[in-house]
Amino acid sequence: MDKKCSQLEHKENDAISYCQECNLYMCNKCESHHSALFKKHNKYNLDKDIKEIFTGFCQQENHNKELKYYCKGHNKLCCAACITKIKDNENGQHKDCDVFSINEIKEEKKSKLQENIKYLENIYKNVEKYANDSKLLYEKITDKKDQIKTEIQKVFTKLRNELNNREDKLIEETDELFDLLFIKDEIIKNCEKLPNKIKQELEKFKAFSNNWEDNNNLKFLIYDSINLENFIKDIDNIYEIVKKSDKIDLNIKFFYEESFLLEKIKNFGIIDNNILFDNPSNIIHKSGNINFVIKQIKINNNIDLNENCHLKLLYRATKDGDSCKIYHQKTNDIPDTLTIIKTKEDIIFGGYTKIKIPSCYGKNFNDDKAFIFSLEYNKLYFPKKNNCSKHSNDNYGPIFGNNDAFNYPILIYGSNFFSTKNNSTCTKDCCYDNFEYDYELNKGKENFGIKEIEVYQVFFE
């Protein structure tokens, strides 16, 4: 606290202590005299640990009145200005409260004090154990946090190494392909030297060409003639390479799926304290996002809400293939399935089915435990009474709804899910309740394309 001495002669000096009985702040000079005169007064040293000194007087600005009252609602001492019936910027803050004189609440606070003393005595017996337990818990938490950080760093170091290796490999393959198909750097360098070299060779052999009658130099002439023939062959080879390269189409490209890769990187890894998935989802990046769905599954099946839930991946379109044949092979005749769909517009919805759905070509199934959901609105939709909740057709993907009136809130068309944009949601008058407007699952649009479909089996333990 930054206080000045109450003594007028020392008002520029910093106070080092406060006397509760005298209601005075004292500098070091005043404090030595006070200690000698009033040895039994309650004195506080103004060290850094003291946040507020209780003076017995109200701390409200301009009040400076003795605290003689107690406000029960705020559990606070008050002065006369605090409880005045006239309320303005400074007065009457407690005019409408239950206020008592401090003598009236003496016995109550005395009893409460004794109660709290006993409570502190009980805590004191175990406080060392609590402190040690807290320290051990903190160390355990810190170790776990460091462990996860280390795991993250190891994985991303491995990924960076693999990316670097892949980059080096692709660059090496690029060099090899271009060296195989096109002019090499050394050919260009030789071409740049050719004019001067040809000029030199011409001058040289023109000078020798009239010496063929000199038998003494014949072997040298023949040797030089052979060299010239080889030189011309080299020129012809270079010319052929250049001519051939000029006709080759430079339509070589670097193929990659940037959007898919970046999406994978952006959502790679999960830090979560409620891991439901046995295999990280491509759609749900925090398991807490579908807690409301899991809670409803528990309610529908009379499962304790504190039970742990696990989701076992049965089918993923980007991994297993987008054909309806594979989808049915992996999901038919399995109970407790959770289907999650992500559209090309990144809208997420799906549904839960309790019963096993067999292989068939167009059949309705009534499942009173089934429901569908929207992650856009964190909303659930339930089948209307006496309406079929699930439909199966081996020529289609997941279908929730009733075939009798083409009444499907969710319908995945076709034999290949990614290739069609005709997948659809239904009007609010479908066989499921709780829709507020048409095509609500898809934010007001009937048709959608598929980015991902995942089907999980739900387990509890």
The predicted structure's pLDDT at residue 352: 95
> What separation in angstroms does the CA of 145 have from each of 134, 150, 152, 273, 398?
16, 9, 11, 12, 40
The answer to whether residues 288 and 375 touch, using CB atoms and an 8 Å cutoff, is: no
Here the tokens at position 146 are 């460091």
The whole-number average pLDDT for the span 105-134 is 87
Rounded Cα distance, 3 and 25, in Å: 7
End-to-end CA distance of the chain: 57
The answer to whether residues 100 and 69 touch, using CB atoms and an 8 Å cutoff, is: yes
Here the tokens at position 385 are 């009474």
The whole-number average pLDDT for the span 413-433 is 83
The answer to whether residues 78 and 104 touch, using CB atoms and an 8 Å cutoff, is: no
Helix 218-247 and helix 185-208, axial crossing angle in degrees, nearest 10: 150
- Of residues 252 and 246, the one with the higher pLDDT is 252
Rounded Cα distance, 347 and 447, in Å: 12
The H or E element that residue 130 is part of is helix 106-181
The answer to whether residue 390 scores a pLDDT higher than 70 is yes
Rounded Cα distance, 25 and 10, in Å: 11
Choose among 361, 445, 367: nearest CA to 396: 361
Lowest mean per-residue pLDDT among 3-12, 243-252, 448-457: 243-252
The predicted structure's pLDDT at residue 206: 73
The predicted structure's pLDDT at residue 226: 86
The answer to whether residue 170 scores a pLDDT higher than 60 is yes
Here the tokens at position 116 are 């709290």
Give φ, ψ of 421 to 5 degrees. -110, 10
The H or E element that residue 409 is part of is strand 407-411
The H or E element that residue 144 is part of is helix 106-181
**Three-class DSSP category at 280:** coil
> What separation in angstroms does the CA of 120 have from each of 112, 113, 126, 292, 295?
12, 10, 10, 42, 41
